[in-house]
Chains A and B, each alone.
Chain A
Amino acid sequence: MRLAEMQDIAGLRIVENIGLGPQTQMVERIAGLFPGARIVDRRERPNRGYRAVHVIPEVDGYFIEIQVRTPLQDLWAQSMERLADEAGREVRYGAVPEGWADAIESLLSLSETMRQFEEYMESIRVERSQLPPPRHVPYGQRELQLQRTRLDARLKSLEADISHVSDQIRGSLRDWVEKKPKR
């Protein structure tokens, strides 16, 4: 490939122990440093399971790709790269080499359950941030206490959902680790 035809000639990867909301804030801060930078949000439209946000500024006439990933987004991407090493690099673009269909399917399914997990975690983060902790709810403020009770019930429900999705992820992981090509 000619250098002039490449989309980017340098890359930067940030893997931060944060959730979806803080990831968006981080992306906005980075993009703010580079007026005109393009943002490609692969969380909204995953590319063959790949989820992350890329900020692509032009610096001195060259495009730089800055990848911002959460730990789960990054581990999924590393896993896909690892699979592509074994099965062939073209799997990243949709190819399904003979014998690899199950392993690829497990990994794509893993991406979807990781998305659900991150969205549940983000819901919990947002809901927790909307109300003061119980000890700061003044006695006698009935409406606030009711809101707190409703929030606690909602959080319990979300935690149950998260537990379920975590089990699904562990199942997909087991499948993926064990799946070898059928030749």
Chain B
Amino acid sequence: MSSYGVLAEFRDAEGLLAAARRARAAGHRRVEAYSPYPVEGLAEAVGFRRNWVPAIVFVAGLLGGLGGYFMQWYSAVLSYPINSGGKPLHSWPEFIPVTFEMTILAGAVVGFLGMLLLNGLPRLYHPVFNVPEFDLASRNRFFLCLRDVAPEDARRFLGTLGPLAIWEVPR
């Protein structure tokens, strides 16, 4: 049974951040860091580069708005052209509210789902949960996981970062 990686526990965010940076500096490429709250700079420290979420939201919002307007234009002008209060079929000023709401709706829904998808969530089982002490990651402890080297090397390296404890994460 191969292991998923090696996990080191730290007391605070600063310790984790420093450790993560050193791990990257040491040439480790597959590093994961876990914290009970977002720690500024941590993601970059473990090698996170491109955040696609804003782009997804922008494109989705744009398409939502265009789609919303098209739906109204199509139904009011082509599919179901009725005289309503003597107003033109293409009463564009009155199509704006729905267009706007569709922009927001599409942006928000796709943004949220995109965030989950990019994060690989939902994923109820994950190997790190096999480490019993990992439940503190959602309380007051900070964890670093090295995944690209053999467990013995990882243990050795992590030991130099001053962790509270080190575990091997079974797969």
> Is chain B found bound to chain A in the same assembly?
no
